[in-house]
Structure 1
Amino acid sequence: MSIDPKTALDALYEQYSKRANAIRHDLGLQRSADFAEQAGERQNDEVLNALLAEAEAGMRQVGLARLRLADGSYGLCQRCGEPIEAGRLQALPAAEFCLACADKVRG
């Protein structure tokens, strides 16, 4: 079964966007006046900020994948130029690298 890359990227972007908006909302909530509770809230804010950064990074990756789709290079490894495995693109629509190159980039 083949999935349309544009549809997959749009859905992924929507997921990241909803997550980022929910986190921004949580970060904007009023904080407790109690000093002890403020310490816990600051710690929670650190976690939320890390999650927000992750969601925003995902949105950027999807944006780059959309650019590759527009210029015809979507589905080609950005390192070796070979096609990215269909299963990998299905699981990770914004994938930049084939599996072999992704292992090299990470490792």
Structure 2
Amino acid sequence: MTDCSDIATQLKARLADLLERTEVIEDDLRHPLDADWEEQAVDLADDEALEGVDDVLRSEIQQIRLALLRIENGTYGTCAICGEPISLERLKARPIATRCIKCA
């Protein structure tokens, strides 16, 4: 893929957004537990849900960083399975894609 500047810009913006969101989640997870047992149960359930969201966000962050690395080293847009080019339409729809439609 020759010019990926628009996709790289999109990926960098998404990365910044995700990093900000994970920071907010981490701050929420660091709060001390309430003295009330019932409140602690609610807080722990909320924390468990937040941890799940944080895991999903961190996975996407990793995928975006890898996509940016592929852009940097010139392998972006090449299917990791068959080595054929990934269509621009697919990359626009899913910029972190590593496989073409046939191999996906």
Among 74, 77, 102, the residue aligned to 1:75: 77
What TM-score, normalized by structure 1, do the two folds share?
0.84
C-alpha distance in 2 between matches for 1:99 and 1:40? 43
2:102 is the alignment partner of 1:100:
yes
> What is residue 35 of structure 2 aligned with on the other side?
33
Deviation at 1:94, TM superposition (A): 1.4
What is the CA RMSD across the aligned residues, in angstroms? 1.6
Gaps (5+ residues) in structure 2? none
Q: 1:16-55 to 2 correspondence within 5 Å?
A: 16-55=18-57
Structure 2 counterpart of 1:58, one-letter code: E
Normalization by structure 2: what TM-score?
0.86
For structure 1, the 5+ residue unaligned runs are 103-107
Q: Percent identity?
A: 38
Matches within 5 A, 1:6-21: 6-21=8-23
- Cα distance change, pair 74–82 in 1 and its aligned pair in 2 (3 A): same
Q: Number of aligned residue pairs: give it.
A: 101
